[in-house]
Structure 1
Amino acid sequence: MTDIVVLGSTNMDLVAYVEKPPQRGETVTGREFRTIPGGKGANQAVAAAHAGGTVSMIGAVGNDAFGTRLRSTLEHSGVNTDHLRTVEGPSGTAHIVVDDEGGNAIVVVPGANATVDHLVPGDEVLISSADALLLQLEVPLAAVVASARAARAHGVRTILTPAPAQPLPPELLAVTDLLVPNEHEAATLTGRTDPREAATALLDSVPEVVITLGSSGSLYATRGAQPLTVPAPRVTAVDSTGAGDTFVGALAVALGEGRPVREALAWASAAAALSVQRPGASASMPYRSEIETQYAS
């Protein structure tokens, strides 16, 4: 099995479902509200565990009811939470509006995630034993850089999702093996809206790039080779929240199992396609048997 460590955020997603999202100054009536465990770090951890990986989570939750539920959800999904800290104060929250076309708008309040600004004793040992380290940008950059450096020191593949999009420091890019932005994040990072041009620009800083393209699939690029585009299954989206994290978690498992890049991308796309047909983030993430069925279809 692929051994994966995730350093990142855990949030409670507060999700309102509406026909159309409100414009500035506008009030709309929603049809449903849910509280769903999420956070990009926790989402990727759950996705990887459901896809068949052995997963451990480094992060923090608050000493509130949300924190208790977030930890329980991870453990129920098979994620090891021995390195998930509990700190004074509120857990992180994400306030999400989902429209009838499956699109979403999100406001994240970091809460306990803001305390994850360094590695604590035992974290580097855990990272050193992994096949891959998954990172995102919903915890302070200092911890992201420190964990990526630890992974590089121990020969562990680092997979970075640059979200929320922000300028990436050279010291982080220098220890990133695979960068996985979506097309909007890639454009923000490079100033280029064409995914192929953006991927080429990103290869100046990292050796491998996967740009996710939503319903159009994904684009893989590495130095010295032509970019590879892999289509996604055609499905009707209900809620795209967490689809990118589902893709990354499944991709990490597939690559760790030694699958060829094209197959790994198609397998990850099958997982993401399943997730967008269900509401919520972690609640929508498919299990390995479901991914295999979708991939084979």
Structure 2
Amino acid sequence: MTDSPPVAAAAEAAAALASVRIGIQASQYTLVAGFVIWLYDIFLTFDREVGLLWCRGGKLIKAAYLIHSTRFAMGALQQRGAYNTRVKKGKRLSDNRCTADVVILNLCLTTGTIVATAIFTFRLYIVLLGRRVLRLFLVGAVVASDLALVALVSNLLVVTSARTMSYSDEMDMCVSKVSPNLGPMYVITIFSESVIAFATLYHAVSLRHHRVVLRDSPTIAILNVLYKGGFWYYLYALCMQLALALVYWTAPKPLLLILCFLEYALKSTVTSRWFLEFRQALANSEAQTNDESIADKAERRASINVVPIERETYEM
């Protein structure tokens, strides 16, 4: 004897609801784990941040670093609030509050992505001294990619997802229909990151004949950080964003949330670490240059003191 259609539909809805709850719970555990890793990394790099960033000049760099390093915390707290919105038992939030949650969350995501790309672009732009065409192409490609990302996020997330975002009494949380068209959001940034990677490769190839001359200079250490760190970051970003795009189109939505949280934490941590490593190379270069200048001054002073003595001895 088969179940009646209403009973079967109710059972199917209950099973789907249970599956969604399990996925959300797994996402919450992943979010908490990522938050702990993020805090632990902040603790490990605190001394380097103070010495290499906050005790030096550069307000724009400080602002970019602060925005990117804290975006995971902002997004995590906002997502946690969207998944635990009941303040008192029996009290529900308005749909406008749920809409504000999804808008703020995706603003954090978009801002962090743009800032991370800007950090690499700014460093590479400084290194590409004397290559005006390549500089213009680099800036134009990154700006065009960022504008396309903002347009896509504004259209699909703020407009489409915000309209479908509402408070579910059955699940006691804000829910929204996730559109498969959001996959290109992660593909767009691959274009700008590929431009950065190929510009870095071009710079490395064009300077290959000078690396022997610069082998013992402070400049080579800075370039090595730019080359190696930049390519590792590019490979990581490529793998993560392709995975997220494929998940948007094919995989279950709970897995999408887990990967989004992982991408949030890992990208913030990797970018911050690369930035501090680059600043460390610059600091070492400055220290070595200062030591060499002090040694040159001491040598010149010694030669000035020695010359009159030799002349006086010769005259005697």
TM range (shorter): under 0.3
**Which has the larger share of helix?**
2
Per the normalisation by structure 2, the TM-score is: 0.25
Q: Which has the higher contact order (CA 8 A, sep 6+)?
A: 2
Per the normalisation by structure 1, the TM-score is: 0.26
**Which has the larger share of strand?**
1
